[in-house]
Amino acid sequence: MGAYILRRLLLMIPTVFGIMAISFLITQFAPGGPVEQALANLSGQNVSMATRITGDAAGDFAAQPGQGGNKSAYRGSQGLSPELVARIEKQFGFDKPPLERFGMMLWNYLRFDFGDSYYRDISVIDLIKEKMPVSISLGLWMTLIAYGISIPLGIKKAVTDGSRFDVWTSTVVIMGYAIPGFLIAIALIVLFAGGSFWSIFPLRGLTSPGFDSFPWWRQIIDYFWHLVLPIISMGLGAFATTTLLTKNSFIDEIGKQYVTTARAKGLTENQVLYRHVFRNAMMLIIASFPAAFIGAFFGGSLLIETIFSLDGLGLLGFVSVSNRDYPVVFATLYIFSLLGLVIALISDLAYMWVDPRLDFESREV
């Protein structure tokens, strides 16, 4: 077991390196980088925006708007002095060759030094910490509720396959999967958040005004009250996937020979189901957990965060990519990649917990 874990940990190094290298290479050819955006703002004499980005350089240009004639490769540099372009490149770190910048980035990331955001006066790690509570709240509770309901429901559907209960629950979960989450969110707002009918649930944020002054019991109620509509909007699709996967896994195992043998030995249906079938059927559910976990935290919440005014990692990632805020983009990619690899390893170790017959020492990675 120890050797297997060590091999998996060592393999994370080239995996993360490859992810970061490919992403860095793509950004080198992507148009509209941070330097070009700063130059475009300066060329348009958007001094308020430019001053926030480039400091005194914008003021220098505003005072001397007639300079020009440079042969810079940047499209937005026409009419700007080469010295100003060089200052902007240095500010964003683009005065160094790409390989040197990539090497410096990896060295800093190994020490979890992610630098500062290009467009916000805050370090990247502080910015991620600021947005993390929203994503943790949405992802954690949605995952726990989805698995806590879907697994028992899937087992019940497998045991009663073909019954009325199986048919109508399948209809409900498939309809929930077919309807996009953002449409469900809008419908819930219209019905229950003061849209046109009832005003039962809050619409914005994770807490109410004056939250810090509430007693602890009221803070808990207020927090979960704000989560009801976003989690319902995000969770219906996850219910369908996990429920049907659980049902099909159990049906497949129930039809095998060892189940017939266990029944012939006089074991009750519950003993057969939970002592023998459960650990074999749960292998597929465990295998699907890493992707579901990462998706719940970081992949599927952008529209939900926007609709319910929740400023989390999904919205941060989208805005950062749009603004070419590369420190935030690469830092979140690095953290999410590491997290995904660690969760995949934990998922493999959970296999052994479910089925101790697995031999990791002899497994090829």
Mean pLDDT of 130-151: 84
DSSP lists the bridge partners of residue 193 as 199
pLDDT, tens only, 296-328: 666 556 778 888 878 888 778 888 888 888 888
Contacts 24+ apart (CB under 8 A), 128-134: 128/313, 128/316, 128/328, 128/331, 128/332, 128/335, 131/311, 131/312, 131/313, 131/315, 131/316, 132/312, 132/313, 133/206, 133/312, 134/206, 134/305, 134/310, 134/311, 134/312, 134/313
| Neighbour count for residue 358 (Cβ, 10 Å) | 14
Task: Show the tokens assigned to 98.
Answer: 């790409």
DSSP 75: G
Give the model's pLDDT for residue 361: 59
Q: Are 317 and 332 in contact (CB under 8 A)?
A: yes
Residue 70 amino acid letter: N
Q: Which among 319, 336, 313 has a CA at the least distance from the CA of 118?
A: 319
Position 168 confidence tier, pLDDT thresholds 50, 70, 90: very high
- Residues 266 and 250: their CA atoms lie apart, in Å, by 20
Give the alpha-carbon dihedral of 294, 298, 299, 302, to 10 degrees.
Answer: 160
- Hunting for tokens 């079938």 — which residue is that? 277
Residues in the chain: 365
Closest residue by Cα to residue 181 from 233, 235, 143, 145: 233
**Model confidence band, residue 75 (pLDDT cutoffs 50, 70, 90):** low
d(CA 363, CA 365): 6
Over the stretch 211-246, which tens digit does the pLDDT of each residue have? 888 898 998 998 889 888 888 888 777 788 888 888
Say which residue, 199 or 356, is predicted with more confidence: 199
Cβ neighbours of 237 (radius 10 Å): 20
Helix (H, G, I), strand (E, B) or coil at 199: strand
Predicted confidence (pLDDT) at residue 195 exceeds the cutoff of 70: no
Tokens of 114: 């992610």
Indicate the average pLDDT of the chain.
78
User: What pTM was estimated for this model as a whole?
Assistant: 0.70
Q: Report d(CA 179, CA 228) in Å as an integer.
A: 18
Helices (H), 179-310: 181-192, 216-254, 257-264, 269-271, 278-294, 302-307
Structural domains for the chain: 31-110 (no CATH), 126-354 (1.10.3720.10)
With tokens 């300066």, the residue in question is 42
pLDDT value of position 142: 83
For residues 273 and 348, give the distance between their C-alpha atoms in angstroms, rounded to a whole number: 23
pLDDT at 52: 45
Residue 62: pLDDT above 70? Answer: no
